[in-house]
Structure 1
Amino acid sequence: MERANEIQISYKNNGSANQLKITDASSANNIIMDSWDRNTIELFETFKVVYLNNCNTVKGICTISTGGISGTIVDIRLIFATALKTLSTAIILTHNHPSGVVVPSQADIQLTQKIVKAGELLDIKVLDHIIVTPHGSFYSFANEGRI
């Protein structure tokens, strides 16, 4: 039985002895898409965080929230509680747009800025925020100079 105060962090490594390392937005997107349930990516919006060590090796991926068709509520405290519990030094934010539109909304931009500021206080680097779609396209805040 799972206790209410436990945080579920997981990552499937497909049986490989080598841990996966994030080198760019494309490699991050590949890891993120491997973790997504293909049956729900176009049904409702979900916000996840990829937790990394100093070498940008994936420690795990945690689903922070799941919402409706056009949005989800993100509690920044949960993001950083998990980062602190896992001794992560960097994170990558990600969420899906069920509509298939990769352009970030104003709310996406504001949330990203708020999380980056919180990370600076805790010395946890926000490397990117990647928006994914059911069709495989993605948007990287880092690639666009927004982080």
Structure 2
Amino acid sequence: MTMRTIPEGMRPYERLERCGAEALSDAELLAILIKSGTRERSALAIAEELLLKHGSLADVGTAELSELKSCAGIGRVKSIRLHAAAELGRRIAFGRCRNKIKITDYEYLGDMLISEIGRLRQEVFQALFFDKKWNYISACRISAGTVDRTLVHPREVFYNAIKNLASAVVLAHNHPSGDCRPSRADYDTTERLVKAGRLVGIDVADHMIVGNGKYYSMYREGDLIKIKEKTLNEGFEDYGT
């Protein structure tokens, strides 16, 4: 079935004009972004296959470009268009509130990070920067790794923190496995960054690990306090060697 075989009043474009975007299904909204189908299938049919293959609209939104292109009828341009639309949605959802975020808004930060990186297939490491009154300034993606590993150097974190005139930083990364419990490597990375932050006068206020719909806060769980106490009288190693 192609879009031309669908009655005009039932096509996604016409329904959006007549009823508003909120009246459309996930598949219909995706079909508008996909724009055109193939000779055999409509954009709506391709959208329905995407949802079936990935499980939900949220999963489509976090799919890699290569995963989107594996669906028949989705090529380079359409996959990029879908990827860009998903990112715009995330920025709109949180952009209006970001100027009001405090470093102590743990649940909000956790939800924001779950939305941004919680469903990614590879591990990424981010830093969120805050001023001396604990108001949010900005965020920066520090690195991206493989399925289960990313490399983080203190230089990259604190160069960006200093550039943003930050007084504190919240570290964040995802576990593609969905299990947000910290690994030994996570604790080692946190310890390294706490030491580096102390040298430049920038506090590591938390390290949040997110999985699929969950997050773990090292501050709230008491881990970060223990790390800071442990490292208080220790020297700083050159971890770049």
Shorter chain as denominator, the TM-score bin is: 0.7 to 0.9
TM-score (norm 1): 0.82
TM-score (norm 2): 0.51
Q: Which of 119, 143, 146 is equivalent to 2:220?
A: 143
Does the CA-based 8 Å contact 2:209-2:215 persist in structure 1? yes
Distance apart, 1:16 and its partner CA:
5.2
Q: Following the alignment from structure 2 to structure 1, what is the Cα–Cα distance between the partners of residues 214 and 117?
A: 16
How much identity, in percent, do the aligned residues show? 35
Residue of structure 1 in register with 2:86 after alignment: none
Name the SS for the 1:81 alignment partner. Answer: helix
> How do 1:65-144 and structure 2 match up within 5 A?
65-133=143-211, 135-144=212-221
Residue of structure 2 in register with 1:60 after alignment: 138
Q: Does residue 44 of structure 1 match 2:122?
A: yes
Q: Following the alignment from structure 2 to structure 1, what is the Cα–Cα distance between the partners of residues 203 and 117?
A: 27
Which one has a larger percent strand, Structure 1 or Structure 2?
1
1:30-58 Cα deviation digits (max 9, x unpaired) = 33335x157xx331000000000112111
Distance apart, 1:18 and its partner CA:
4.8
Cα distance change of structure 1 residues 129 and 37 upon mapping to structure 2, 3 Å threshold: closer
Residue of structure 1 in register with 2:38 after alignment: none
Q: Highest Rg: 1 or 2?
A: 2
Q: Following the alignment from structure 1 to structure 2, what is the Cα–Cα distance between the partners of residues 17 and 136?
A: 20
Does the CA-based 8 Å contact 2:180-2:209 persist in structure 1? yes
Distance apart, 1:17 and its partner CA:
9.0
Q: Following the alignment from structure 2 to structure 1, what is the Cα–Cα distance between the partners of residues 137 and 99?
A: 12
Distance apart, 1:146 and its partner CA:
1.3
Structure 2 unaligned segments of length 5 or more: list them.
1-90, 225-241
Distance apart, 1:26 and its partner CA:
1.5
* Matched positions, count: 133
2:131 is matched by which residue type in structure 1? Answer: N
Q: Following the alignment from structure 1 to structure 2, what is the Cα–Cα distance between the partners of residues 111 and 85?
A: 21
Structure 1 unaligned segments of length 5 or more: list them.
1-10
Greater displacement, 19-28 / 73-82: 19-28
Which one has a larger percent helix, Structure 1 or Structure 2?
2
| Larger RCO, structure (CA 8 Å, separation 6 or more) | 1
1:63 is matched by which residue type in structure 2? Answer: R
> How do 1:18-37 and structure 2 match up within 5 A?
18-34=99-115, 36=116
Name the SS for the 2:104 alignment partner. Answer: coil
